[in-house]
Amino acid sequence: MGMTITEKILAAHAGLNEVKPGELIKAKVDMALANDITAPLAIKAFKTAKGKQVFAKDKIALVLDHFTPNKDIPSAIQCQEVRKFAKEQGIVHFYDVGEVGIEHVLLPEKGLVLPGDLVIGADSHTCTYGALGAFSTGVGSTDLGAVMLTGEIWLKVPPSIKLVYKGKLPKWITGKDLILYTIGDLGVEGALCKAMEFCGEAIAELSMDGRFTMANMAIEAGAKNGIFAPDEKTEAYVKPRATRPYKIYQSDPDAKYLFVKEYDVAQLEPQVALPHSPDNVKGVSEIGEIKIDQVVIGSCTNGRLEDLRLAASILKGKKVAKGVRCIVIPGSQQVYLDALKEGLIEIFIEAGAAVSTPTCGPCLGGHMGVLGPGEKAISTTNRNFIGRMGHVESEVYLASPAVAAASAITGKIASPEEVL
């Protein structure tokens, strides 16, 4: 029987010829990831399990991205613990302030995750790497501690669902709009424990940055992983970065899917997820007038170069509306540098936006733009749960960098059409 790309990667890492949905396997991990919030607990689990040496110094990435540069004393202590462990263990891929980027932007950029890999991260958005044709999923700290010790993880093979995007991408429609639309359709539990396989002509048209955005939010539909079959774009992205061999998998034509959904995107308008759920999605023209206090452009969802280019193309020569705070956070040092060289940072600053060093910051209400009671933000991040960006009475609207930038100019949620 044919297998899906997800099943093939899992089978290969479990040393099996074939796996079926529902099967429990023990699989080898190519890269294990933790951040400044989840690593301390994983280190504790590792030590409780009498761990002495990690399974491979070069297959663990520890990324201090959430509350860094340290926002307070407890976060400074957490980072100290991780720093100490990284040094003791000789962790090769340890990223501290000055080199750090948001983990899910950083790892692909550094070539640390590659097509065909099995990646486990103590962070729910680890599913981002599916954009490269890798199997990647998030776990808790205990699991990650066990992976750091053994290099293995037990997994249940997920059934796959196939999402086919037809039609040409209209102007302003990005990966963010496609994934928001999809989550709006499936619901936050619509893909529970399943593999979301993205394909179709609109996906082929989509850039790698757009695919990262989509895979990133698979978890927002409850999925275990999101995945794209690698194509020329994937190869072009990976080739200059890879320092080890990788393998390209494709789904068999007779692979089995739990269900298949087709979306015609030709008429799609920019999408917005309203508070307080990523599946509360509407077209930007349907939401009426929503005044905003803050705009956030960044995160592991939309903090890549293409995202900044898109936002800058709208903000160029314009001003952020009076009374609106617009915060731009490049996802990594490389993105920052590229944006600087291209003149994007200048555009943001001239428009009246604040530009920050890479950090998760406001995405999880950590620092660098926490909301007060009653405040509303439009954000390119991935979650708009109650209190996600600050006070429990604040509101977060999720959208693409294009909608976020247009909204910064008008002071209310707007389509890019309205400002150009």
Partner 1 sequence: MIVEGKVWKFGDNIDTDIIIPARYLNTSDPQELAKHCMEGIRPDFAQLVREGDIIVAGRNFGCGSSREHAPIAIKAAGIKAVVAKSFARIFYRNAFNIGLPIVEAEKVVDASKEGDVLKIDLDRGEIVNLTQNQTFKIQPLPDFMKELIADGGLIPHLAKKGGY
Find the part of the chain contacting partner 1 (CB under 8 A) among 66-74, 189-197, 236-244, 353-361. Answer: 189-197
Amino acid identity at 404: A
CB 126 → partner 1: shortest distance, Å? 13
Query: What is the Cα–Cα distance from 228 to 337, expressed in whole angstroms?
Result: 28
Query: What is the Cα–Cα distance from 199 to 281, expressed in whole angstroms?
Result: 21
Number of residues that bind partner 1 (CB under 8 A): 26
Kindly write out the interface string for residues 291-330 of this chain, putting x where it contacts ligand SF4 by CB under 6 A and - elsewhere: --------xx------------------------------
Query: What is the Cα–Cα distance from 133 to 231, expressed in whole angstroms?
Result: 9
CB 123 → partner 1: shortest distance, Å? 12
Q: How far apart are the first and last CA of the chain?
A: 52
Three-state DSSP state, 257: coil
CB 329 → ligand SF4: shortest distance, Å? 9
Alpha helices (H) in 187-272, listed in sequence order = 201-205, 208-216, 232-238
Site for partner 1 in 364-403 (CB under 8 A): none
**Residue 126 touching ligand SF4 (CB under 6 A):** no
Instruction: Tokens for 363, please give them.
Output: 């995405």
Q: Of the candidates 364, 399, 346, 295, which has an alpha carbon nearest to the alpha carbon of residue 123?
A: 364
Kindly write out the interface string for residues 41-80 of this chain, putting x where it contacts partner 1 by CB under 8 A and - elsewhere: ----x--xxxx-----------------------------
Q: Of the candidates 233, 259, 255, 260, which has an alpha carbon nearest to the alpha carbon of residue 164?
A: 260
Kindly write out the interface string for residues 220-259 of this chain, putting x where it contacts partner 1 by CB under 8 A and - elsewhere: --x-x-----------------------------------
Q: Which of partner 1, ligand SF4, none sits in contact with 149, Cβ below 5 to 8 A by type? A: partner 1
**Residue 106 touching ligand SF4 (CB under 6 A):** no
**Residue 149 touching partner 1 (CB under 8 A):** yes
Instruction: Tokens for 330, please give them.
Output: 């490049």
**Residue 139 touching partner 1 (CB under 8 A):** yes
Pick one of 36, 123, 375, 395: the residue that binds ligand SF4 (CB under 6 A): 123
Site for ligand SF4 in 181-220 (CB under 6 A): none
* Complex with ligand SF4: residue 149 or 329, whichever CB lies closer: 329
Compute the C-alpha angle 403/407/413, nearest 5°: 85
Three-state DSSP state, 330: coil
Pick one of 43, 45, 102, 131: the residue that binds ligand SF4 (CB under 6 A): 102
Tokens 């015609």, residue?
A: 264
CB 363 → ligand SF4: shortest distance, Å? 3
Q: Which of ligand SF4, partner 1, none sits in contact with 8, Cβ below 5 to 8 A by type? A: none
* Conformational region of residue 394, where left means phi above 0, alpha means psi within -120 to 50, and beta covers everything else: beta
Query: What is the Cα–Cα distance from 120 to 213, expressed in whole angstroms?
Result: 18
Contact assessment for residue 16 and residue 9, using Cβ atoms and an 8 Å cutoff: no
Pick one of 2, 24, 262, 286: the residue that binds partner 1 (CB under 8 A): 24
For residues 275, 280, 283, 285, the Cα torsion angle rounded to the nearest 10 degrees is: -40
* CA atoms in the 13 A half-sphere facing the CB of 155: 33
Find the part of the chain contacting ligand SF4 (CB under 6 A) among 74-82, 96-104, 248-256, 391-399. Answer: 96-104
- Residues forming contacts to partner 1 in the complex (CB under 8 A) are 22-26, 45, 48-51, 139-140, 142-143, 145-146, 149-150, 152, 154, 156, 189, 192-193, 222, 224
